[in-house]
Amino acid sequence: MITTKLSLLAMLNEVYKRLLIIWDYKFNVLTQLVMIGLIFVGASYFMAGGRFDPSQLVSVFLGYVVWFYARIIIVSSTADLMSEAQAGTLEQMYMTPVPTELLVLGRVLATLVSTTIMVALTAVILALLLGIHIPMHWEGVVVFLLTLVGLFGFTLILSGVGLVFKQIDALADLMQNMLLFLTGSLLPVSRFPNWLETIAQTLPTTQGIIVLRNVMLHGQSLTSAWSDGSLVWLTLHSALYVCCGWLVFKWCERIAKQRGSLSQY
Amino acid sequence: MGNTLGPNIAIELEDLSKTYGRHGADNVKAVDALSLSVPAGQVFGFLGANGAGKTTTIKMMCGLVTPTTGRIRVNGHDVARERGAALRQIGAVLEGTRNIYWRLSAWQNLIYFGHLKGCYGSELKLRAERLLRELELWDRRNDATRTFSRGMQQKVAIACALIADPLIVLLDEPTLGLDIQASRTVKEWVAKLAREEGKTVILTTHQLDMAQDLCDHIAIMRQGRLLVNKPLAELMHVFHQEYFQIRVKGSLEECLPGKFEGLTMTVENDNILLSGAIAEQAALYEHLASIRELRLPLLSVMRVEPNLEEVFMHLIEKGVQGDHHETFALSHAQ
């Protein structure tokens, strides 16, 4: 009971700390959000041949929102880890009696909460400005959460690698850019060449974007998505990512402790 | 698991070794078969030159570095098997890093680390307030710590290490980079922790005057091995028996340096002071014979109380010269 309370407290503590730090960086965060918004506006304009057509934008918008989530989560998780290793606060975190697994979960939760606030804010402003109307289906939330699970598995892999090799900022940057172009955020993967489509299917958010579009834009039910296998594949895909992520993270954590590199940069 | 150590032992290291690297030639043995017990309620000075293995040992105690072999018990709890219980006993400020969030205020840092260590509610707030008041940071509690001086930041780091009221405090070079005033504050605090609050403090420092003033017990490491492990008074007593100061009239040029191996030569009021440990009477007479040979007027020969720095240098130099017998005899003669 005490451990549960302690763990919950530790997780909430992470959320609180993250929000405080984001608030302290508010100007930077705001600038990034504006930049992300402008990229969407620019990309949509060019993709539509020099005009804005809200009805054509909905599909791209959904994919872009998923990428936006992925971008913030990947970049902030890896950057936070590196800066904390450098500052020694990562070691202080590892010196607490709370199991590190729970602290990692706490950090995931903290990133989820802060990212949701930022993405929701930007998405609503963009939707209002561009007149994009997204049909609301609760099933979309389920699909979105499943996609996030896979994304977090992917982030755990990157964070684990960061614990051992430290300088992974460039890799994180490369990955988030790859996710923008190769997961169907802007262009459906069905329009990719076969070999590229196969690669794209292995990335963490690709299947999520496909199912999300079917559910949100075409009104497909979860039962139907399950029956045609797309939701099954998404579930398996996300589960696989999160399991691999967890194993890689724990393995890398063990190596970092053996090498004494938790605080080295 | 209950406390299986004696009631007076806070930390016990048993045959602890740490080797970094995997390939034979690149291996670095940072800690080599280290066994020692840290008595509870004392200030335990962990000394050694850079690379001696102090920080690795401290990090192994904190569960941050996995030992290659050996075992660590903190108040009876095995760090490898009972991590949570062992870490509940410890608060630490580690060397060379910030240890706190510079983007957060002093208050926010204390509350954050308090929560992480399982403290909450009014008890946590009261303790945070007490620590900040005692460290004279209360008026600036809401300022971001990045705006603080280095000394103030270190105070916050120490307060964070103490927020859960741990029984054992590990301070790895806590005065590194601090000015004299800030160093003094930290020193006073360490003394207070041990004398008034009965905490066990493990202190690594290169400021040997501070170690001499604060520590009850000294362990000296060299190249990962334990050279000495003794109560400070006993260590100083051993060297008091053999530490001499020979005063002669003359200039440094006249005292051929090679003649007085193992002695430190300094000039004081136009006299030369030759000082150092001279373990045997025969060696003392040899030095006196050399002085006569050089025709230097002998002014005095005194047995003096060495300071810790002189003891430390003597032990380290003896070790470097390969004379292990005397130094290891010290660590084993307990």
> By C-alpha distance, which of B88, B308, B87 is closest to B209?
B308
Asked if B72 and B12 touch (Cβ cutoff 8 Å), the reply is yes
B99, A89: Cβ pair inside 8 Å?
A: yes
> By C-alpha distance, which of B157, B162, B229, B154 is closest to B200?
B162
Instruction: Compute the average pLDDT of residues B73-87.
Output: 92
d(CA A166, CA A200): 27
Chain B residues with CB inside 8 Å of A20's CB? 103-104, 108
Query: Residues A72-88: pLDDT tens digits?
Result: 888 888 888 888 888 88
Query: Residues B223-244: pLDDT tens digits?
Result: 899 988 889 888 877 766 677 8
Specify which residues B144 forms β-bridges with: B105
d(CA B206, CA B309): 9
Q: Tokens in use for A18?
A: 């993250």
Which of the following CATH numbers is that of domain B237-332: 3.30.70.1150, 3.20.20.105, 1.10.357.10, 3.90.650.10? 3.30.70.1150
Between B100 and A186, name the one with better pLDDT: B100
A20, A97, A259 ranked by CB distance to B108: nearest: A20
Instruction: Compute the average pLDDT of residues A129-140.
Output: 83
Q: Indicate the domain borders of chain B.
A: 9-231, 237-332
Q: 10 Å Cβ neighbour count for A254?
A: 14
Determine the distance in angstroms separating the CA of B136 from the nearest CA of chain A, rounded to an integer. Answer: 23
| 3-class DSSP state of A224 | helix
B65, B96, B103 ranked by CB distance to A260: nearest: B65
Q: Indicate the domain borders of chain A.
A: 2-259
The long-range contacts involving A61-64, CB below 8 angstroms and separated by at least 24 positions, are A61/A123, A61/A126, A61/A127, A61/A132, A61/A134, A62/A134, A62/A209, A62/A212, A62/A213, A62/A216, A62/A217, A63/A183, A63/A184, A63/A185, A63/A186, A63/A209, A63/A213, A64/A40, A64/A185, A64/A186
Query: Residues B102-139: pLDDT tens digits?
Result: 889 999 999 999 988 888 889 999 999 999 998 889 99
Asked whether the predicted pLDDT for residue B318 surpasses 80, the reply is: no
Query: Residues B41-50: pLDDT tens digits?
Result: 999 999 988 8
Best of A22, A95, A258 to disrupt the B interface (most B CBs within 10 Å) is A95
Q: Kindly provide the ipTM of the predicted complex, given to two decimals.
A: 0.82
Indicate the pairing of strand B43-48 with strand B69-74.
Answer: unpaired
pLDDT band at B31 (very low <50, low <70, confident <90, very high): very high
Q: Which residue of A has its CA nearest to B67?
A: A258
B90, B113, B118 ranked by CB distance to A6: nearest: B118
Predicted structure pTM score:
0.80
Best of A92, A96, A98, A255 to disrupt the B interface (most B CBs within 10 Å) is A92
Residue B184: per-residue pLDDT:
85
Backbone angles phi, psi at A9, to 5 degrees: -60, -40
Q: Which residue of B has its CA nearest to A10?
A: B116
**Residue A28 burial (10 A CB sphere; 0-12, 13-18, 19+):** exposed
| CATH numeric code, B9-231 | 3.40.50.300
Residue B22: per-residue pLDDT:
67
B84, B98, B116 ranked by CB distance to A88: nearest: B98
Q: 10 Å Cβ neighbour count for B131?
A: 23
